[in-house]
Homo-oligomer: A and B are copies of this chain.
Amino acid sequence: MPVESRAIDRSAMLYREPMTTDLPDWREYREQGLSRVLAAAASAFVERGYDGTSIREIASRAGLSVPGLYHHYPSKQALLVGLTDAVMDDLLTRSYAASASAGQGPSAQFDAIVENLLRFHMFRRESSLIASRETENMEPDARAAYIARRDEQQRMVDDVVRAGVAAGVFDTPFPEDASRAVVTMCVAVSTWYRPDGPLSPDEIVRRYLAVARSAVGAR
């Protein structure tokens, strides 16, 4: 079956008590756990782009014949959808976990959600880049599903910024625009972050969180 299940019940996570032990640790990154075939597609798409990658190339990287690859995924498009689903599952699961772990106040919630966005776009930068770069190459239904989940992530930040303004801990006349700018800034980290770069992930979080808080007028 080509496409991972979307049946994770995320709504339930939002209302759990914070810090229950069964929440995933949103700060911890191990191997992404992609199947061999999806990992092969990801490495090819990153290096050559979706249009520049052939099914033969992906099969070769996965150590499979072309018919063997088709046994797992019926098309290159199905591989792109499988990757995009996996990356958005991972992101949203971590975002809800970050939000739940931060408790109730909008300032602490904002910090956790933004920190999660920053870490995710460092530690999952390749698959994040594929999703954002190849959006135009998704077929209409898959693109709509991807954009809906991207919007879900954006709305989490919008809601917490609006809540912060209502609570008087943030001060901006344009909460939605500030929220979009913050998400954009975090997502863009995947375009320049390098594990061997001069700044550690923790230092990048420290700096960009400060800039993000400034953008929403945190007091």
Contacts and interface: CB of A to CB of B under 8 A. Distances in A.
Contact of A51 (B52, B181, B217): B52
A3 interface: no
A10 interface: no
Max chain B C-beta neighbours (<10 A), residue from A50, A210, A211: A211
- Tallying the copies of this chain within the complex gives 2
Interface stretch (A66-74, A98-106, A169-177): A169-177
Interface residues of A, number: 26
B178 A49 contact: no
Contacts of A178: 211, 214
A13 interface: no
Interface in A175-193: 177-178, 181, 184-185, 188
Given A181-B215, A184-B185, A215-B215, A210 B174 contact: yes
B49 A137 contact: yes
A43 to B, nearest CB: 14
7 contacts: A172-B210, A172-B211, A174-B211, A177-B210, A181-B212, A184-B184, A188-B188
